Amino acid sequence: MKLDFKKNSLLYISLFILLFFSFFLYFFTLETYNGIEAFSVYIRQRFGRFYLWLGLFCVILLLVLAFSKWGKRRLGAINDRPQFSRLAWISMLYSAGMGAGILLRAVQEPVYMMNNPPIDNGTSSSTIALEYTFYQWGFTAWAFYAVFAIIIGYYLFVHSKKVLSSTAFSSIEHIITSEKSRNFIFKSIDILAILTTVFGLVAAIGLGTTQIEGGLTHLLKKDVGLAGTILVLLIISFLAFISVFRGVNKGIKIISTWNIYITFALLIFVFVQSDITAVFVQFFTALFHYLIDFIPLSIAIGKYNPGETFLTDWTYYYWAFWLAWAPFTGIFIARISKGRTLREIILGVLLIPSLGTFFWFTTFGQSAFEIIEDLGVYQGQFDNVFSSIFIFFENYPLQGFINTLTIFLLISFLVTSLDSAIFVLSMFTDNGKQEPSKMHRLLWSIILTIFSIGIILLGNVKTDINVLIAMQKLLIITSLPFSLLMVLMIVLFIRDFRKKVKANRA
């Protein structure tokens, strides 16, 4: 890879901005933290309702598209067939889109929602807890990913454009008469996608490594310390680099598939030792209420409005987080979905991961509810998001083995999130190539590792400031322009798609 600024301007400008931000983060930590905190709260308060309406619109749009005549259209040529098996495809999109988050929140979130019911729809607090957890991890999150995936996939495989976020705006290039202005606007869109992906990965890695640290501390009965956390991060980064260096087929696909196998085994382990009838009853009851309450939940009206404080702390934050992950996850899903019909992509992305996640949260949530009931008095055993699942497994046989397996699964999920992001970032900076050079993959592996270690070190030094939370809230800020761009992307996509269909009929 030659140090040609023109050819790699996205890479160098992004690196400069990251270094510039790091300077303020390291030397003006308190001021930066306060600025991020204030701006993120402002965005959630001012644009939170916009996020809700956008989420509902994306779900409805996808369902209309899937069940319309357009749903039969393929991403690619008419004779193109999927590159990956359906299991491998689902495994990769799920590992990239959710991954370690379902382990992080498996017990803590349902228990919190049960103890602090956000709504009152006439059902039990445990059903409300699961219903609201479904809502925050369900169709809307995957709709953000799917919309981005379909739009980018359409321009990539139907119009043979580059793998860049700005590709979705290629049909209005001619409106911007100045080449300099056009390059500036399109590069700004791509740089925003790169920065959002980097911040999203750093936040995810920080959360994941903190949970792994909590698991190791719980397992070893002693604090693994800063050195142990950095060692875990280095192992994750090394494995992610090996995976992405080998490519989608020989690396990312294999690890993602094994993630699903191990996750399913862990789910079965808990499920068979639970009250199976109660799990099924809760699953279908919560699912039924989620489906019939979906629209009022999505716009938070009447008795389905949990209040601005709750929405700001939970739902707006989740929606902003999913939006922030949409560029990276959506482009990765697009990359692995060539040859599939729009209907299959939409239903596959929207329904299968959601239903799997719902059953996961029901199994762990209902089992945790039963444990709390047996305790008689709940004393906050599952309140800590980083240690709750390890404390939960203390109530099961083979707790040492299961907790160790959970730590390995956490590492594996972080590896697949990281290697997917490295692959997408490499596509961005290697001129939008579908198979980016291995030098770009190595470079982004190193950049993300150094940046993540820096954030962990900074968090250790600045003990009075939660730098990790600041990074997560930074996603809320970067997701706002993308949410506004997504509206324009959708309008342009529908217009261009209709033109393409009419042209094919003529």
pLDDT digits (tens, 9 = 90+) for 106-122: 999 999 999 999 998 88
**Gap between the Cα atoms of 78 and 60, Å rounded:** 26
DSSP 277-296: HHHHHHHHHHHHHHHHTHHH
Enumerate the domain spans of the chain.
10-220+275-505
Quick one: which of 259, 208, 267, 247 has its CA closest to 91? 259
Alpha helix (H) residue ranges in 337-466: 342-350, 352-375, 388-392, 399-429, 438-461
Quick one: which of 146, 162, 191, 160 has its CA closest to 333? 146
Residues 381, 196: contact at Cβ < 8 Å? no
Better pLDDT: 22 or 405: 405
The answer to whether residue 5 scores a pLDDT higher than 60 is no
Tell me the sheet residues that pair with 341.
74
The region of weakest confidence among 25-29, 62-66, 275-279, 402-406 is 25-29
Among all chains, which residue has been given the structure tokens 């699953």? 283
As a whole number, mean pLDDT of residues 287-297 equals: 96
| Tokens encoding 429 | 């900076």
pLDDT of residue 439: 86
Q: Which residues contact 232 (CB under 8 A, 6 or more apart)?
A: 209, 212, 213, 216, 411
Q: How confident is the model at residue 463 (pLDDT cuts 50, 70, 90)?
A: low
Q: According to the 3-state scheme, what is the secondary structure of 149-213?
A: HHHHHHHHHHCCCCCCHHHHHHHHHHHCCCHHHHHHHHHHHHHHHHHHHHHHHHHHHHHHHHHHH
Residues 335, 55: contact at Cβ < 8 Å? no
**Gap between the Cα atoms of 97 and 331, Å rounded:** 11
**DSSP classification of residue 249:** I
pLDDT of residue 255: 75
The answer to whether residue 311 scores a pLDDT higher than 60 is yes
Residue 92 one-letter amino acid: M
The answer to whether residue 154 scores a pLDDT higher than 80 is yes
Better pLDDT: 353 or 250: 353
* Burial environment of residue 182 by CB neighbours within 10 A (0 to 12, 13 to 18, 19 or more): middle
As a whole number, mean pLDDT of residues 274-291 equals: 95
**Gap between the Cα atoms of 344 and 352, Å rounded:** 11
pLDDT of residue 60: 95
pLDDT of residue 501: 67
Q: How confident is the model at residue 267 (pLDDT cuts 50, 70, 90)?
A: very high
**Gap between the Cα atoms of 365 and 78, Å rounded:** 44
Quick one: which of 323, 318, 320, 336 has its CA closest to 424? 336
Radius of gyration of the chain (CA): 22
